[in-house]
């Protein structure tokens, strides 16, 4: 059940304004954990596809209730991680930069997502460098934060800069549990982020501290539920329901945290943001 946790903002809270995003999602009809490519995955433990679908549907319904436009891509047999749509590419200015996955188990997802982008009339750019889409590329205002360290090659940062002509800021991830940028950093609005310091190397931390001095600093406890793997429209922030400190921090700044339970999909190493690819015209 979706839990809205809106509280009265503090006197120092920011003035925040919601947008109406368009997103792409994929039903977890074939979700299971049959291999291990991140520390969250334990193929020896059972998973419940029907529960994953039920929890995912709550997330889908939450977005619809918030007024989002939600598109769906068909899930394909043999691709259990296709539910993590954020990894399927990066879409901005009507251009879709495709994904080129690091692990062989996920590599067929790249062409599947690019085919969907083409079907929607997007200008698709096929990647040369290994990258995992919005998993490692996050737009903050007009700047693209780009991570490497586990899944996306540093060379993809120059590739995405050339495609979009935007400033790209490179960051280095160092904790294997936070193997994608969107597991360690959340975009709240065009000027505000939240992040987990221990997920980044010292040089990256210096960049984040200088650029985002007013950032929300996440707790290790909330990050352990992939609490930072969240999606915001600028006011409403959909997060893991167990990330209670993060919810409190958001509410104190005038945002509306909305908690959902994606515990079954967490078994594959994904949360709210992993299931959500933003489509920016």
Check which CATH number belongs to the domain holding 183 and give it.
Answer: 3.75.10.10
Q: Which two tokens stand for residue 165?
A: 């002509």
Q: How confident is the model at residue 7 (pLDDT cuts 50, 70, 90)?
A: very low
- CB count within 10 Å of CB 194 equals 25
Tell me which residues are annotated as active site: 180, 274
pTM of the model: 0.92
Phi first, then psi: give them for residue 187, nearest 5 degrees. Answer: -95, 120
pLDDT tens, 254-279?
999 999 999 999 998 899 999 999 99
User: What is the rounded average pLDDT of the residues 38-51?
Assistant: 85
Question: Could you list the residue range(s) of the whole structural domain that residue 205 is in?
Answer: 3-278
Helix intervals (H) in 169-252: 202-211, 220-223, 244-252
207 pLDDT exceeds 50?
yes
Q: How confident is the model at residue 41 (pLDDT cuts 50, 70, 90)?
A: low
Q: For the chain, give the number of residues.
A: 281
Our count of domains for the chain comes to: 1
* Triad 135, 137, 140: Cα angle to 5°: 125
- Exposed / middle / buried, residue 133 (Cβ in 10 Å: 0-12, 13-18, 19+): buried
Q: Which two tokens stand for residue 69?
A: 């436009």
Taking the CA atoms of the chain, what radius of gyration do you get in angstroms? 17
Q: Which two tokens stand for residue 97?
A: 């930069």
């Amino acid at each position: 059940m979706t839990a809205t946790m809106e509280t009265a903002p503090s006197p120092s809270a920011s003035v925040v304004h919601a947008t109406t995003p368009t997103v792409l999602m994929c039903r977890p009809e074939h979700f299971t954990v049959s291999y291990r490519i991140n520390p969250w995955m334990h193929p020896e433990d059972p998973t419940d596809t029907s529960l994953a679908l039920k929890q995912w549907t709550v997330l889908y319904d939450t977005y619809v209730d918030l007024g989002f436009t939600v598109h769906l891509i068909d899930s394909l047999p043999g691709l259990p991680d296709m539910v993590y749509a954020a990894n399927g590419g990066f879409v901005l200015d009507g251009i879709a930069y495709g994904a080129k996955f690091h692990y062989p188990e996920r590599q067929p997802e790249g062409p599947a997502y690019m085919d969907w982008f083409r079907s929607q009339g997007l200008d698709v750019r096929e990647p040369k460098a290994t990258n995992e889409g919005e998993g490692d590329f996050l737009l903050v205002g007009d700047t693209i934060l780009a991570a490497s360290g586990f899944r996306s090659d540093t060379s993809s940062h120059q590739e995405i800069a050339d495609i979009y002509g935007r400033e790209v800021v490179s960051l280095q991830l160092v904790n294997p549990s936070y193997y994608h940028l969107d597991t360690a950093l959340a975009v709240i609005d065009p000027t505000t982020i939240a992040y987990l310091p221990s997920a980044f190397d010292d040089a990256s931390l210096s960049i984040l501290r200088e650029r985002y001095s007013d950032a929300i600093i996440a707790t290790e406890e909330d990050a352990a539920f992939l609490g930072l793997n969240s999606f915001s429209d600028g006011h409403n922030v959909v997060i893991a329901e167990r990330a209670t400190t993060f919810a409190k921090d958001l509410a104190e700044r005038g945002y509306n945290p909305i908690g959902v339970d994606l515990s079954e999909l967490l078994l594959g190493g994904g949360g709210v943001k992993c299931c959500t690819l933003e489509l920016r015209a």
